[in-house]
Amino acid sequence: MVGLRSRTVGRRFAILYATVFLLSGIGLIALIYLFSRSDMTRSAPGQPPPGEPATGVAQHVLDLERQLAEVHAQQSRQLLFGSLIAIVVMAAVSLLLGRILAGHVLRPLRLITAATRRISAENLDQRLAVAGPDDEVKELADTVDGLLARLEASFAAQRRFVANASHELRTPLTTIRASLDVAVAKPQPAAQTVALAGRVRTELDRVDRLLEGFLVLARAQHGVLPDRVPVSLAELAGEALAARAGAVAEKDLTVEDELTSKAWTRGSPALLSRLVQNVIDNAIVHNQEGGWIRIATQDDAGADDAPRARLVVETGGSVLDQDQVDRLTQPFERLGTDRTGSQESSGLGLSIVAAIVSAHGGSLDLRVRAEGGLKVTAAMPSANAFDGPHGPHGPHGPHGGTA
């Protein structure tokens, strides 16, 4: 019965089969009972004519007819009682048979469902290729195969567009930069030329970062992760903090870190590095002067008890609105310009983080703090779940020596 509860369509088929069987059985019993009643009515015992006493032979015949009528009535009751018992027994049997038949009918659909779940953006070239008679199930499988073919063509077109756009857009940016360098390198350039070149170069850097963000976002959303290797979130966080020491000092921020070496996951080092950098950049840029940042890496079980490697970054500040924060994972979504640094943001940072986390099979949680500020938690499957209790590189640490 567990299977019946877990599969709605199978349960419906079984109940429908049992219902049809029971209705047919009840109708059959009703017809038998009506026919038996009709026979009893026709064979009902006769009565002597009024005013004429029954003779010995006639009385004996009447007694025999009464006894026969009683036997017919008793047989009818037994038949009805036995039929009801048979209906109850066959009701249970029909549920079992209905479940078996439903499983047989739905088996091709389950195979199609399982095969479809195994197909992702990385293997859209696979097809169901269901063999068998040209029926409704095969028609459904052929339709799914056609849909997969169209998706594969669409994904390929998008990837070609991203690659071509990257090349075509970077080429004019490089040309403009070279032209600026030539203009500034001339003997005794005008002060206005130098100032204009500086402003244009700043905008070019911003466009270049925006373009790079687009490319990273597109790659993460497509789930293209051919270089999955064990990656330490603690090492990435330490490197990102070291590279941003100047920005931290400029804002006089206090940084508290709890980086554990156990926080390992499997994925693309380049994308995971960008994830960590974006989260830390977000904590630095959108922070107040003299504020604080708390960064931690953890390795523990998630809601489904599966091991998770986590990066947790908290900041202080003003009280934020949770509804607005929930939209920050969408491209170009920003908080109000009153938030420090938001006017300089491209609006792609956390959307890139969300796409990278999703591509690695993880989850991103943005939670406002009641006392003000934001807590960002990126959780991904732990590499320790696949490589044993001593970490992703065995019992001696990441490089084979003493950890």
- 107-131 pLDDT tens trace: 878 888 888 777 766 667 777 777 7
Distance separating alpha carbons of residues 185 and 189, to the nearest angstrom? 7
Q: Give yes or no for a contact between 353 and 378, defined as CB atoms under 8 angstroms apart.
A: yes
Give the whole-angstrom CA distance, residue 149 versus residue 155: 10
Q: How far apart are CA 24 and CA 17, in angstroms?
A: 11
State how far the Cα of 127 lies from the Cα of 214, in Å rounded to an integer.
31
Distance, CA of 334 to CA of 328 (rounded, Å) = 6
At 211 the pLDDT is 75
- Cα separation, 233 vs 361, in Å, equals 15
| DSSP symbols for 299-358 | EEE-TTS-EEEEEEEEE--S---HHHHHGGGSTT----TTSTTGGG--S-HHHHHHHHHH
pLDDT tens digits for 290-333?
A: 999 999 998 876 555 678 899 999 998 888 888 888 887 776 66
The tens place of each residue's pLDDT in the chain, 403 residues long, gives 434 444 577 777 778 877 887 788 777 777 776 776 665 555 545 555 555 555 667 777 777 777 777 777 777 777 777 777 877 887 788 878 878 887 777 787 888 888 877 776 666 777 777 777 777 878 888 888 888 888 888 877 877 777 677 677 778 888 888 888 888 888 888 888 888 888 888 888 877 777 776 776 666 666 556 567 899 999 999 999 999 999 999 999 999 988 877 789 988 888 888 899 999 998 998 888 899 999 999 887 655 567 889 999 999 888 888 888 888 777 666 665 444 444 455 567 788 888 888 888 888 999 988 888 899 999 998 886 545 444 454 433 443 333 2
The answer to whether residues 245 and 383 touch, using CB atoms and an 8 Å cutoff, is no
123 DSSP assignment:
-
Measuring CA to CA, which residue among 311, 305, 309, 303 is closest to residue 282? 311
Prediction pTM value: 0.54
